[in-house]
Chains A and B, each alone.
Chain A
Amino acid sequence: DAMVIQNPRYQVTQFGKPVTLSCSQTLNHNVMYWYQQKSSQAPKLLFHYYDKDFNNEADTPDNFQSRRPNTSFCFLDIRSPGLGDAAMYLCATSRDFRTGVFQPQHFGDGTRLSIL
């Protein structure tokens, strides 16, 4: 089955130690997204890639970076994680939304990040 895969499912890191979360997809979608979801809160968009074009949300902290080396993979880098960055991180993909046909986003199962 074509899908969105996030690794690892659970990640523990130390305060201030850089961490990278990964996302891969077999859907061949050209748009990839990263969301942060804290407990009992709504998922919040951090940024997205439209092909190689990176789009950052205005309120995403500089501590969060992303890389997309090819269509299939996208990485979320947290340069110096703080206690407030403990959350579920969700990756999503969608087809080209500029075709004029609405395309829903497809989500991975998430990576739960804990900060010690």
Chain B
Amino acid sequence: DQQVKQNSPSLSVQEGRISILNCDYTNSMFDYFLWYKKYPAEGPTFLISISSIKDKNEDGRFTVFLNKSAKHLSLHIVPSQPGDSAVYFCAATLFFGNEKLTFGTGTRLTIIP
């Protein structure tokens, strides 16, 4: 039972344009959501997070949007840069008393120069 789903295995975006990565979840008890970025031969690196009490969190070029009613979140990267080419994992967790991250299967983002 895949509680966190990333339905697009890959995405290609022109440099300078907006990249939008999507994630859906099924467990309404999740109350914290994260995005991790992974380069080949490296471990995942924490990128940005959002609490379920918010609908938007922004950090520089990265913005995460949360739609609780639709159980959907998205990561926007604008403008996209070649260094953004990586695999992006969406993850979700219960905040208090449960540190378990439930990951999606990842989306490979390729930025085309």
Contacts and interface: CB of A to CB of B under 8 A. Distances in A.
A44 B2 CA distance: 11
Query: What interface size band does chain A fall in?
Result: 20 to 34
B110 interface: no
Contact of A102 (B2, B51, B105): B51
Contact of B101 (A41, A105, A108): A105
Contacts of B97: 98
A44 B103 CA distance: 7
Contacts of A98: 96-97
B53 to A, nearest CB: 12
B29 interface: no
Q: Is the interface of B mostly helix, strand, loop or mixed?
A: loop
A11 to B, nearest CB: 15
Nearest to B47: A104
Contacts of B41: 109
B65 interface: no
Interface residues of B, number: 26
Contacts of A94: 99
A44 B1 CA distance: 12
Contact of A108 (B36, B43, B51, B105): B43
For A43, A44, A45, the residue with the greatest tally of chain B CB atoms inside 10 Å of its CB is A43
Closest 8 CB pairs of A and B: A107-B43, A42-B103, A104-B46, A109-B43, A107-B44, A43-B103, A42-B105, A97-B99
Given A42-B104, A43-B103, A105-B46, 19 more contacts: A31-B99, A41-B105, A42-B2, A42-B4, A42-B89, A42-B103, A43-B89, A45-B101, A97-B99, A98-B97, A100-B96, A102-B51, A102-B95, A104-B34, A106-B46, A107-B43, A107-B44, A109-B41, A109-B43
Interface of B: 2, 4, 9, 32, 34, 36, 41-46, 49, 51, 89, 95-97, 99-106
21 contacts: A31-B99, A40-B9, A40-B105, A41-B105, A42-B103, A43-B44, A44-B103, A45-B100, A57-B100, A92-B43, A94-B99, A98-B96, A102-B32, A104-B34, A104-B49, A105-B99, A106-B46, A107-B36, A107-B43, A107-B44, A109-B41
